[in-house]
Amino acid sequence: RAKQEGGHRFVLFDADQERTIREQREALARGLEALRNGEFALYYQPKVDMRAGRVIGAEALIRWLHPELGVLSPAHFLPLFEGSEHAVELGEWVIATALSQLDVWRQADLALELSINISASHFQQDDFATRLAGQLSAHPGVTPSQLQIEVLETTALADLIGACRTMEQCRQFGVSFALDDFGTGYSSLTYLKRLPADVLKIDQSFVRDILRDPEDLAIVAGVIGLAQTFGRTAIAEGVETAEHGCRLLELGCELAQGYGIARPMPAAELPVWTAAWQPPQAWALAPAQHYA
C-alpha cells in the first residue's frame, strides 16, 4: 500500500526502520558495555510493616550510574535488554549483586528480606532454578528465605505450567515469590489457586487513587481479600502518603512500599535509614481489620 502511495515513501519508511534497528542494537551494545564496566547498581526501596512500625526488607531496583547522564532509571535501558539474548546476563548480575549485598548486611547484623525483579525471558529459562541454586551456594551466609523473586503477574500467566514448575523448584530451597503489578493481568481465581506465589504485590496504579476513586479502592480491597482467602500476603506499592497507609491498614493490608515511606536509595544508605525510621503515629492508631 505504501508503494502505491509513492515509491519514495516506501523507501523512506524502510530506511527509517533500518535506522531504528541499528540504533537499538548500538544502544544495547552500549548498555552491555556499561553492565560489564560496573556502571550498573542496585538501589533499595524499603518494605515496611506499617502497623508494627518495622522495616521488613527492601526491593532492589536497577539503575545505570551513567558517567555523563547521571542516574538512569530502568525505563531508559531495560527494554533493550529484555528483548535480547542478554536479558539472562543482566538478571544473573542482579541476583549476584543482591546476594552479595545480603552478605554485607548480614555482616553488619542487618537481617532483611530482599526482593529482586526478574524479567520474563530470564524466568522462563528451563534451568532458572538450578542456576539460582548455584548462585545461592556461592553465598553460604545468605539464607535462601531472605530472597524473594518478583515476576510480573502477566509473566506468570503467559506460561502457567512453566511458572508453577519454576516456582515450586525454587520454593523447595526456600526462595519465595511475589506477583508484581498484581491486578493488571486479569488473573482468574483458578490461576491464582494453582500458582504457588507467596505474595500479591498490588499495582501502584490502583493504590495511588484509593483516596479518591471508589473503583480503585474496591480493586485494592478485592486483592487484599483474595490474598486472605488464598493464604497469601498482600503488599501495596506506590504508597505516597501516610493517609494512603491508613486506608490500606483499614482494609487489612499491613505491608507497604512507596515514596511516602522512602524512595529507592543506594545500598550504603539503607542501614542508616532503617535505624532512623519512625512510622507516622496514625498508623499505630488505625483501626485493625477483624475477620470472622
Q: Which is nearer to Mg ion, 117 or 274 (CB)?
A: 117
Q: Considering only residues 147, 180, 221, 279, which one is a binding residue for ligand C2E as defined by CB under 6 A?
A: 180
Q: Considering only residues 48, 55, 58, 61, which one is a binding residue for ligand C2E as defined by CB under 6 A?
A: 61
Q: Which one of Mg ion, ligand C2E, none interacts with residue 225, CB within 5 to 8 A by kind? A: none
150 binding Mg ion? (CB under 5 A): yes
Considering only 6-14, 38-46, 124-132, 150-158, which stretch makes contact with Mg ion by CB under 5 A? Answer: 150-158
129 vs 164: CA distance, rounded Å: 12
Size of the site for Mg ion (CB under 5 A): 4
202 vs 219: CA distance, rounded Å: 9
Considering only 35-43, 146-154, 214-222, 273-281, which stretch makes contact with Mg ion by CB under 5 A? Answer: 146-154
74 binding ligand C2E? (CB under 6 A): yes
Residues 87-106 that bind ligand C2E (CB under 6 A): 94
**Shortest distance in whole angstroms from residue 269 CB to ligand C2E:** 15
258 binding ligand C2E? (CB under 6 A): yes
**Shortest distance in whole angstroms from residue 274 CB to ligand C2E:** 17
194 vs 110: CA distance, rounded Å: 34
Residues 48-67 that bind Mg ion (CB under 5 A): none
What HEC string does the chain produce?
CCCCCCHHHHHHHHHHHHHHHHHHHHHHHHHHHHHHCCCEEEEEEEEEECCCCEEEEEEEEEEEEECCCEEECHHHCHHHHHCCCCHHHHHHHHHHHHHHHHHHHHHCCCCCEEEEECCHHHHCCCCHHHHHHHHHHCCCCCCHHHEEEEEEHHHHHHCHHHHHHHHHHHHHCCCEEEEEEECCCCCCHHHHHHCCCCEEEECHHHHCCCCCCHHHHHHHHHHHHHHHHCCCEEEECCCCCHHHHHHHHHHCCCEECCCCCCCCEEHHHHHHHHHHCCCCHHHHHCCCCCCC
180 binding Mg ion? (CB under 5 A): yes
**Shortest distance in whole angstroms from residue 209 CB to Mg ion:** 16
Per-residue contact flags (x/-) with Mg ion for residues 92 to 121, judged by CB under 5 A: -------------------------x----
Q: Which one of ligand C2E, Mg ion, none interacts with residue 254, CB within 5 to 8 A by kind? A: none
Q: Which residues bind Mg ion (CB under 5 A)?
A: 117, 150, 180-181
Q: Which residues bind ligand C2E (CB under 6 A)?
A: 45, 61-62, 73-75, 78, 94, 117-119, 150, 180-181, 204, 237-240, 257-259, 264
